[in-house]
Amino acid sequence: MTQAALPPLLLVGAGRMGGALFGGWVRRGLAPSVLVDPAVPAGLARAEDRVVASVDEVPDDFHANAVVLAVKPQMAEAVLPGLGARLGGRGVALSIMAGLGIGGIERALGVPVVRAMPNTPASIGEGITASCAGAGVSEDQRALCDRLLSAVGEVVWLDDEALIDPVTAISGCGPAYVFLLAELMEAAGIELGVPAGLARQLARRTVAGAGALLGRSGEDAASLRRAVTSPNGVTEKALEVLMAADAWPVSVRRAMAAAENRSRELGRKQSIFEKKDQKTFAP
């Protein structure tokens, strides 16, 4: 029998991002695993996987090499204490929960922790994930987490956990900025008289195609922009509006600063919560 490419895993939270990750692992040859979620999407789990509604229902004889935390941070208080007791100090935790820091999760679970921030293109294997390993993570555990995250796209490793917040403003929130651009292009096209269906098709394919070109080109974004901007041409006139001092340059900076500030705010709230309930979280 051929050995599975990825060892057994315990996935806690099978929503949009957790489900995207699980699908990527299955494609990489995941060993039979356990999913914890009261509403696992139909077709996500295989016949050989076990699906349970809560951590308390995880089989006692199931030992995962890694537990992946893909629940909302507001659910941490309900999930982590029981999970820590079941892990018994074994394995590594890979957390994609926003705001909750490595230290708090380590205290709750009693195992080494890797914190990661993936983004939604992971659902088609085109994501990018920024990751940071806690001090107790071994080389083998870091390598395992790298394999898990690379199943859905690129992985970058951060030496400083504090970088998670600005990274979230770029790649974590970034897909929403791109979707908004397509949405606004479609709406503006309709206002210019383009039929709605055609405006949507043109906007979506233009954004998707430009993104693909950017991804495959060795040139930076500024060079690609200049290459399609003829002097005194149509594109230049449009960019004069978008690149005005009070337009995109300031709006994008303000938007990303707001995202970073909110990420830090969530982290501060979770830090207060960790200290307040430290006894509750003890495994």
Total domains present in the chain: 2
The answer to whether position 266 is within a domain reads: no
Mean pLDDT computed over every residue of the chain:
90
Asked if the model's pLDDT at residue 278 lies above 80, the reply is: no
pLDDT given at position 276: 47
CATH code for position 199: 1.10.3730.10
pTM of the model: 0.86
Q: Are 186 and 142 in a shared domain?
A: no
Q: Are 230 and 144 in a shared domain?
A: no
d(CA 203, CA 189): 8
The domain of 107 spans 9-164
- Report percent pLDDT > 90 for the chain: 76
Q: What is the mean pLDDT of residues 77-95?
A: 87
What does the block give as tokens for 129? 């994930």
